[in-house]
Amino acid sequence: MKRRTLLQTGAGAAMAAAMGLPVRGDGHTPLKIGFIYVGPIGDGGWTFQHDQGRLDVEAAFGDQVETVFQESVPEGADAERAITQMALGGADMIFTTSFGYMEATNTVAGNFPNIKFEHATGFMREHDNVSTYDARFYEGRAVLGHIAGRMTKTNKIGYIASFPIPEVIQGINSAFKHACAVNPAVEMVVIWAYTWFDPAKEADAAKAMIEQGVDVIMQHTDSTAPQAAAAEANAAGGDVITFGQASDMAAFGPKPRVASIIDNWGPYYVERVQALIDGTWAQQGHWGGMPEGEVVIGEITDVVPADVKAEAEAMIADITSGAYHPFTGPIKKQDGSVFLAEGEVATDLQLVTMDFYLEGMLGDIPS
């Protein structure tokens, strides 16, 4: 048995070398690329999009790579076990695709210096083999906030938030700022769900908002349940609009879903795997947005008036070209102190540490 394994491995390496395929230091091919997901790939949102990125990697590299993934890995202590298991399983590179895997990813990276780790939406890079990557969701939120501010009739915009982390707070602030810019009477109703994925709870949150007069619902949780809840409310005579989150969620268009913010991870994943193959992989903190095609606004449906749609498209063009940054001063914090002076643009450091609401927001961010 042992001899046969040896022969196969030897033959495989020889063949790979002959065919010009990449051969790793320990001589194996294909490269094994692992993905750790926080929800099921069928969530129709966040994890679904990461899995699309995984499929892009498979499509781009074919037999050169083998991908493995594990779904519904809880954030926290159990993540370390799951990542370690994947590392022991022979992965060459592991993408950990949720903020809560930050400590676990770095701990495991310390134990496996020869494996490359890529952690999504975090900022901790304690070892040379850990990179982080993120998308500038706030760019997309600005566009959605603009549409929301123009579309709301009750002047109440609901925001189903997950956890009070900078990524989520940026999104709330960006949406609120751009809704306020076109409709100063807007009020943001935030519910913290304390989960990324719990369809029943997300649906309950959406229903609670609708019952309290919210007519535009944004979400930073991963399932399509709020869309379904809004559709149900509309079927019962309501007038609620939503935005697809992370994925297009086109099935809920043209109403309630009137547009969407799509995370497009494929290009980044392909680029990083290519770097690994070329041997040029190096640690970095990557933060792409609309210019890189990582944040995409899905089709704006006809429920949105043409002039609003044109304004939204103009904003998309400006952000993509770099002419406009959603966090450009003057902006004040909720407590009235100055965040950005006239014409000042927020630095990335200011954004990744954002832990306050902007002026005009009601309520407190839980600590």
Partner 1 sequence: MDLSNISPILLLASLMVAATPILLAAIGELVVERAGVLNLGVEGMMMTGAITGFMIGHATGSAALGFVGAAIGGAALACLFGILTQYFLSNQVATGLALTLFGVGLASLLGEEYIGIRAPAVASIDIPLLSQIPVVGPILFQHDAMVYVGLLIVLAVWWFLKYSRGGLVLRAVGENHDAAHALGYKVTRIRMMAIMFGGACAGLGGAYLGMVRVPQWTEGVTAGAGWIALAIVVFASWRPGRLVTGAYLFGGIGVLQLNLQAARAPIPVEVLSMSPYIATIVALVLLSARKSGRSTAAPAALGQPFHASR
Percentages helix, strand, coil for the chain (3-state, rounded to 5) are 45, 20, 35
Identify which of residues 128 and 194 has a Cβ nearer to partner 1 in the complex. Answer: 194
**Structural tokens at position 57:** 């990697």
Identify which of residues 39 and 100 has a Cβ nearer to partner 1 in the complex. Answer: 39
Identify which of residues 203 and 273 has a Cβ nearer to partner 1 in the complex. Answer: 203
Alpha carbons 146 and 300: distance in angstroms, whole number? 13
CB burial class (10 A; 0-12, 13-18, 19+) of residue 195?
middle
Identify which of residues 83 and 203 has a Cβ nearer to partner 1 in the complex. Answer: 203
Smallest distance, partner 1 to C-beta of residue 232, A = 6
SS (H, E, C) 263-295: ECCHHHHHHHHHHHHHCCCCCCEEEECCCCCCE
Smallest distance, partner 1 to C-beta of residue 45, A = 10
User: What DSSP state is assigned to residue 155?
Assistant: S
Q: Where on the chain is the footprint of partner 1 (CB under 8 A)?
A: 39-44, 71-72, 158, 189-192, 194-195, 197-201, 203-205, 207-209, 211-214, 223-225, 228, 232, 251, 362-364, 366-367
| Strands annotated E in the chain | 31-36, 65-70, 93-96, 116-120, 130-135, 156-161, 187-192, 216-219, 241-246, 257-263, 285-288, 295-297, 331-332, 338-340
Identify which of residues 207 and 333 has a Cβ nearer to partner 1 in the complex. Answer: 207
Smallest distance, partner 1 to C-beta of residue 228, A = 5
First-last CA distance in the chain? 57
Check if the beta carbon of residue 252 is closer than 8 Å to that of residue 228.
Answer: yes
Smallest distance, partner 1 to C-beta of residue 54, A = 16
Alpha carbons 172 and 354: distance in angstroms, whole number? 11
Smallest distance, partner 1 to C-beta of residue 159, A = 10
Smallest distance, partner 1 to C-beta of residue 224, A = 6
Identify which of residues 205 and 354 has a Cβ nearer to partner 1 in the complex. Answer: 205
